[in-house]
């Protein structure tokens, strides 16, 4: 009997810390693994540095699709993956998160009758204006294995009529990566390198709801400047929306320190040493939950409510952001806090076991 081929499809910065533990754990099973990087995020700070820092094998295939509109990017990934899947005939395709590469791989696999596994299944914001929510819904509908990070995700899938046999509560592989590397998160080294002295908060902002519409951008600049009136703001700025923010005067505050995106280890060191994080990112809500850093999520909703019920996260609006930051700064950092079930550093092993059972292979 031939060795089953498992193809992992990654494409953007959030995918890599999720894939690393799965690749490592599955290497102990008698399967062949092929790592595909679609190139959706294609510069060094958004992708290549992750492979070096996290010990992920270099991709076997880099499709190099680059940026573009949602339709163009998804279509380019689909065309390239269809050719690859037809040639290699994988036994299973593993997809991660909610980016365009994720839904593209799921669609191609479904059309070719190849089963797929979705790592981070069942997350819902219930906001269909978010492209990621559309990607999540389609990917989960097409996946054969739904690998969930939280109990609310299980409930969402059940409400959508997914058969319980497909759903597996495995925990969060991104937290595996965080816990494995946390001794490397050197806040002092990062702040010294960046020339930052004293207290600071970290911000990451790139969602369309914050940086696409000029009126939203104007409100965001006002809100963030009110934060910068209180404390230095360090913002590794995503390429998306950078020019628009700059034009709106976002950089024009002495306490606003705008830097290029950082590598994983450096960014997590920066977060660990901060007084708080202001973000619209999904993954940062999870990372701060484990690190115990107060997180203010600048969105009307989150697909990760477990970070609110079992973590340090809260949803805020632009109107109240400065007041919420003031409250955080006036409160000592908590010494203990709740963390979600199974966010324990062993999600990769549980995912590998589920995949092994599905493929009919056992750990070597």
- Catalytic site residues? 206
Q: What is the largest CA-CA distance in the chain?
A: 66
The dihedrals phi and psi of 225, each to the nearest 5 degrees, come to: -65, -35
Residues 27 and 111 sit within 8 Å (Cβ to Cβ): no
Q: Three-state SS for 361?
A: coil
Query: What's the token pair of residue 212?
Result: 């696409």
> How far apart, in whole angstroms, are the C-alpha atoms of residue 123 and residue 301?
12
Q: How many CA atoms lie within 13 A of 325 on its CB side?
A: 30
Residues 156 and 133 sit within 8 Å (Cβ to Cβ): no
Side-by-side strand order, sheet with 232-236 = 256-259, 232-236, 200-204, 277-279, 295-297, 313-315
Query: What's the token pair of residue 202?
Result: 């970290």
Residues 21 and 176 sit within 8 Å (Cβ to Cβ): yes
Strand partners, 255: none
Closest by Cα among 258, 270, 94, 109 to 184: 270
> How far apart, in whole angstroms, are the C-alpha atoms of residue 310 and residue 338?
5
Query: What's the token pair of residue 11?
Result: 């494409």
CA 104 to mean position of chain CA atoms: 17
Cβ count within 10 A of residue 341: 14
Residues 128 and 139 sit within 8 Å (Cβ to Cβ): no
Question: Which CA distances in Å does 278 have to 26, 303, 322?
Answer: 35, 17, 10
């Amino acid at each position: 009997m031939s060795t089953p081929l498992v193809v992992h499809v990654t494409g953007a910065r959030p995918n890599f810390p999720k894939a690393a533990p799965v690749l490592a754990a599955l290497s102990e099973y008698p399967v062949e693994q092929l790592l595909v990087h679609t190139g959706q995020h294609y510069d060094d700070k958004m992708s290549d540095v992750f492979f070096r820092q996290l010990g992920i094998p270099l991709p076997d295939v880099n499709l190099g699709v680059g940026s573009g509109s949602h339709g163009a990017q998804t279509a380019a990934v689909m065309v390239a993956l269809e050719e690859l899947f037809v040639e290699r005939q994988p036994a299973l395709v593993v997809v991660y998160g909610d980016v365009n590469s994720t839904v593209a791989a799921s669609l191609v696999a479904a059309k070719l009758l190849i089963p797929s596994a979705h790592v981070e299944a069942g997350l819902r914001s219930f906001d269909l204006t978010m492209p990621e929510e559309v990607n999540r819904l389609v990917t989960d509908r097409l996946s054969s294995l739904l690998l969930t990070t939280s109990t609310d995700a299980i409930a969402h899938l059940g409400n959508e009529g997914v058969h319980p046999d497909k759903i597996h509560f495995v925990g969060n592989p991104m937290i595996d990566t965080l816990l494995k590397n946390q001794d490397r998160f050197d806040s002092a080294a990062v702040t010294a390198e960046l020339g930052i002295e004293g207290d600071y908060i970290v911000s990451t902002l790139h969602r369309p709801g914050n940086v696409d519409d000029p009126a939203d951008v104007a409100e965001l600049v006002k809100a963030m400047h009110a934060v910068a009136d209180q404390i230095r703001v360090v913002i590794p700025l995503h390429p998306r929306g950078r020019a628009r923010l700059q034009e709106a005067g976002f950089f024009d505050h002495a306490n606003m320190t705008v830097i290029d995106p950082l590598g994983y280890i450096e960014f997590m060191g920066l977060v660990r040493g901060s007084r708080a994080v202001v973000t619209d990112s999904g993954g940062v809500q999870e990372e701060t939950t484990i690190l115990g850093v107060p997180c203010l999520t600048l969105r009307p909703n989150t697909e990760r409510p477990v970070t609110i019920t079992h973590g340090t996260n809260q949803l805020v609006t632009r109107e109240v952001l400065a007041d919420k930051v003031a409250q955080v700064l006036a409160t000592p950092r908590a010494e203990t806090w709740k963390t979600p079930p199974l966010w324990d550093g062993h999600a990769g092993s549980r995912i590998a076991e589920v995949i092994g059972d599905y493929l009919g292979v056992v750990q070597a």
